[in-house]
Structure 1
Amino acid sequence: MVNQIHPCLWFNEGAKEAANLYCSLFKNSRISADTPIVVTFELDGNKFMGLNGGPQFKINPSISVFVLCESAEETNTLWEKLIEGGKALIPIDKYDWSERYGWLQDRFGLSWQISLAGEAPIKQKIRSCMLFTGNKFGMAEAAINFYTTIFDHSSTELLMHYPEGSENAGKVLYSEFKLHHQNMIAMDGPGVHDYTFNEGVSFVVECESQKEIDHYWKRLTEGGRESMCGWLEDKFGVSWQIVPAILDKLMSDPEKGPKVIQAFLKMKKFDIETLLKV
């Protein structure tokens, strides 16, 4: 199966403004598509979608963007530019896990973890990080195991638990895993948090065939719930969009585009054949 997984960021408005800022901070970055509703962009070669969806949902720190930096100077520069108009969640400083690390929420609401990498070469600079909080606390390992059985070319690369004897023994302190070649991070977040997963950040899965759409839809809705227009929520509360890879092309067609949109607004799971026939 061929697919591409990337985050979708839900903005009230200002997706283009946010994308411009983010693209200015990283090499190999660009805006690849720009419409009033959707802005698609790449950061260091990693695809993102910005959605001008209105005030219904808000991004929160349960899913953040984790950036591995090559130097302390790079961490400082990113921090200074991203925190402008935002706020610090964990101040940038030296910690046990990194010589230079900080967690912030930028002025658009998106959370960033900026960390100085160790001596190992950086294979993927920018990664999505899931934090399991509240009633989802302690589910990180089960989620990793679930996701890696659904997507091809997936594996658990690193799994660190809180030590035995500690209050959170057995929970995931830090983990790295791959979903279809995409490096991701997951952690259990102890303590009191006023946020958990929502539609503010979702994961888009681009599918080449109806068979792929059917597969991901069936597996990811196990214990979860279906929504509309290719959206679903899995049993851990994480939102996904299972979409045809051809969707952007169909929507950009001046004649067929409006009809395609009207067709999929009536769908829960996408039906490629129906979209092609409109």
Structure 2
Amino acid sequence: MKNQIYPCLWFDGQAQAAAKFYCAIFKDSKITADNQMVVTFELNGKRFMGLNGGPQFKFNEAVSFVIDCETQEEIDYYWQKLTADGGSEGQCGWLKDKFGVSWQVVPTILPKLLSDPAKAQNVLQAYMKMKKFDIEALQNA
């Protein structure tokens, strides 16, 4: 028997709303159980739990979820959806959604670009100035 490991996200009375928000953004997603205290859901086949725990704890950047993106269209899609209705943009591909959860929307090509000794410094300087990643600008740096 394998023990599953999955995150439990503490919300201030908004666990169900958050689960519905995330399931509308990510393909292959669904709410699997829901009661007034806890909602379990899957995003891209990965299990999450949302807890209506109250106002005692807030999300911060110490924990974030990374979304690997192959294309600029994917980056644009997740960026727009996750910052909608009160989310906020951060630097270097980071953002917070309207519930305060931190996300990193990252192009899959970034590690390759940073490992090229001829381009790494220019790529680093370019992406440090970006909020949402621009793949073409990184490739041209």
Q: CA deviation at 1:253?
A: 1.9
- After superposing on structure 2, the runs of 4+ consecutive aligned residues of structure 1 that deviate more than 6 Å are none
Query: Residues of 2 paired with 1:245 and 1:183: CA distance?
Result: 23
CA shift, 1:255, in A, is 2.0
Structure 1 regions of 5+ residues with no counterpart? 1-69, 71-121, 162-172
* Residue in structure 1 matching 2:117, options 247, 254, 258: 254
Distance 2:26 2:134 in 1: 20
Partner of 1:205: 67
Which residue number in structure 2 is paired with residue 130 of structure 1?
9
Separation of aligned partners in 2, 1:126 and 1:245: 25
Aligned counterparts, 1:88-237, within 5 A: 125-132=4-11, 137-161=12-36, 173-190=37-54, 193=56, 195-222=57-84, 223-237=86-100
Structure with larger Rg: 1
Compare relative contact order (CA 8 Å, sep 6+) and give the higher one, 1 or 2. Answer: 2
TM-score by length of 1: 0.48
Question: If the length of structure 2 is used for normalisation, what is the TM-score?
Answer: 0.93
Native 8 Å contact 2:71 2:107 kept in 1:
yes
Q: Quick one: distance in 2 between partners of 1:208 and 1:148?
A: 21
Q: Which amino acid in the other structure matches residue 141 of structure 1?
A: Q
Q: Structure 2: any 5+ residue segments left out of the alignment?
A: none
Displacement of 1:138 after TM fit?
Answer: 0.8
- Aligned pair count reads 140
1:213-269 superposed Cα distances (whole Å, 9 cap, x missing partner): 000000111121111111111111111111101112211222212211111011111
Q: CA deviation at 1:175?
A: 2.0
Aligned-partner Cα distance in 2 for 1:248–1:157 = 35
Q: Which amino acid aligns with 1:258?
A: Q
Which residue is equivalent to 1:78? none
2:130 paired residue number? 267
Q: What is the CA-CA distance between 1:159 and the residue it aligns to?
A: 1.0
Letter of the structure 2 residue corresponding to residue 186 of structure 1: G
Identity %: 49
